[in-house]
Amino acid sequence: MIEILSIYSQLIIFLVIFQFPFNKLILKSFGYIESNYFNILIYNIIIQSFFYLIISFLLIDIKIYFYIQIFTGLLFLIFNFIYYYKNYRGISFESLALILIFILFNLILFTYIALNLKLEWDALAHWLQKAQVFYQNGTFADLKNVSFSYYPHFGTFLWGFFWKNSFVQLEYLGRLILPFLYLSGIFFAASNLLNNRNYLYKVFFLILILTLTLDYYLFGGYQDYYLFVELLIFSKIFYNYQKQNHSYFNFCLLFLILVLILWTKQEGFFYNLILSSVFIFFCNKNYKIRFLFLVLVTISLILQIYLKNIFIGSFEFNEKILHRELLEYLNISNFLSTFIVISKHIIISIFRYPIWILILFILFFSKFINRDKYFNNYSIFYLFLYFIFVYSIYFQTRMDLDFLLPITIDRILLQGSGFMVYPILLYFENFINKNKSL
């Protein structure tokens, strides 16, 4: 009974902690009059996550930091209740229903993890070791003593942090933050669709995206859902940023998301390059804004290289990016055979995560059948860069592709699909609105 209560108390902890630092009143001062619950939740998650990242480098007692978070979260929770009572006298059926569905889905995923405690291979090989370092109040500098110390650590800090600050301090309780963030991101993407007019459409889209992207296997200690959610959030905030004349708030959020992506997995370094390119080429703000964003991202990349060299002893990836074997691809037959092998496994993985079937179908339907302009050009540009990145990973490696591709490419495709979730939902919204007006 105590363990059951501990499982569900984790959800309460998450909901309390992420009440801070923004609420509806504060966001109004930034010009966000229509911010709903899930927008506010995600903004708070971004800010809090950035502070988690900073804390991971410092000798700070994470128990004390946790208590501070609970205190500030409770203050904001009480204030929010009073504010809503005085100004709104109730909450709409749709908003309440979505929050209750969100809670229900969290409880379902939490229960599944509690009943299926197995940690998968990558988790046992290195992610768990990093989580244990932070569970024991270690810092980033202590990671030099574990396997694959050069791997980024943000997700494992969250794992260790919430493991340490759970009521009974069981390992899997720390992993519950992952399904919470996964669901938060998807609800964030769908919560503003159709101008809050049609509740059933919204629920349908939520269930659709969950069905096409949910893989219980990845809750066994893998970090890929973190990247999926971070890319999804970046995509929606970038779209919102395009619609506003001056939004320093969204500009800062976009940069902070890239920092989090950078420290989540090795692929994050390259996602930074891809997303920065999307921003620079498609941001509708003046060149000074684009240049500032490029400078900030460059500083962030250089800072990661510096910190890893100082604390870990080196900045590296699994393999050297440039090596002599790459010259073999000057032979066209070698190039084509490798290209075919990679393409085959991409097609196989698309069926494992059918969100890609939906993405490719809508892209084809939009451009060649309906011939509409509902699909954003920057999404197509992202897809172009993303698949160059995917192919480059496997052209570059010196490992046996017949071994490596089946165990890695499906998760890389899941990560990258995160960015495309919001453009797909926008396409549905535009298509529905257009047909209603006919």
Taking only the tens place, the pLDDT of each residue in 72-89 is 999 999 998 888 777 765
284 domain residue, yes or no: no
271 domain residue, yes or no: no
308 domain residue, yes or no: no
282 domain residue, yes or no: no
Predicted confidence at residue 85, as pLDDT, reads 74
Return the top range by mean pLDDT from 28-42, 215-229, 233-247, 318-332: 215-229
Say yes or no: 416 and 327 in one domain: yes
CB 391 within 8 A of CB 339: yes
Q: pLDDT digit string (tens) for 118-158? A: 999 999 988 999 999 999 999 999 999 898 999 999 999 99
Tally of domains in the chain: 2
- For 428, the token pair is 């549905």
Say yes or no: 256 and 328 in one domain: no
For 164, the domain range is 2-266
Predicted confidence at residue 34, as pLDDT, reads 65
Say yes or no: 170 and 80 in one domain: yes
Q: Looking at per-residue confidence, does 10 or 195 come out higher?
A: 10
315 domain residue, yes or no: no
In angstroms, the CA 48 to CA 69 distance is: 9
- Mean pLDDT (whole number) for 39-65: 96
Say yes or no: 213 and 351 in one domain: no
Say yes or no: 125 and 224 in one domain: yes
Say yes or no: 336 and 207 in one domain: no
Say yes or no: 392 and 257 in one domain: no
Residues above pLDDT 70, as percent of the chain: 97
Q: pLDDT digit string (tens) for 379-417? A: 999 999 999 999 999 999 999 999 999 999 999 999 999
369 domain residue, yes or no: yes
Res. 33 pLDDT band, cuts 50 70 90: low
Among 233, 249, 266, the domain boundary falls at 266
Look over the chain and give the mean of its residue pLDDT values, rounded to a whole number: 92
Q: What radius of gyration, in Å, describes the C-alpha atoms of the chain?
A: 22
Instruction: Write a three-state SS string for the chain.
Output: CHHHHHHHHHHHHHHHHCCCCCCHHHHHCCCCCCCCHHHHHHHHHHHHHHHHHHHCCCCCCHHHHHHHHHHHHHHHHHHHHHHHHHHCCCCCHHHHHHHHHHHHHHHHHHHHHHHCCCCCHHHHHHHHHHHHHHHCCCCHHHHHHCCCCCCCCHHHHHHHHHHHCCCCCCHHHHHCHHHHHHHHHHHHHHCCHHHHCCHHHHHHHHHHHHHHHCCHHHHCCCCHHHHHHHHHHHHHHHHHHHHCCCCHHHHHHHHHHHHHHHCCCCHHHHHHHHHHHHHHHHCCCCHHHHHHHHHHHHHHHHHHHHHHHHHHCCCCCCCCCCCHHHHHHHCHHHHHHHHHHHHHHHHHHHHHCCHHHHHHHHHHHHHHHCCCCCCCHHHHHHHHHHHHHHHHHHHHCCCCHHHHHHHHHHHHHHHHHHHHHHHHHHHHHHHHHHHHHC
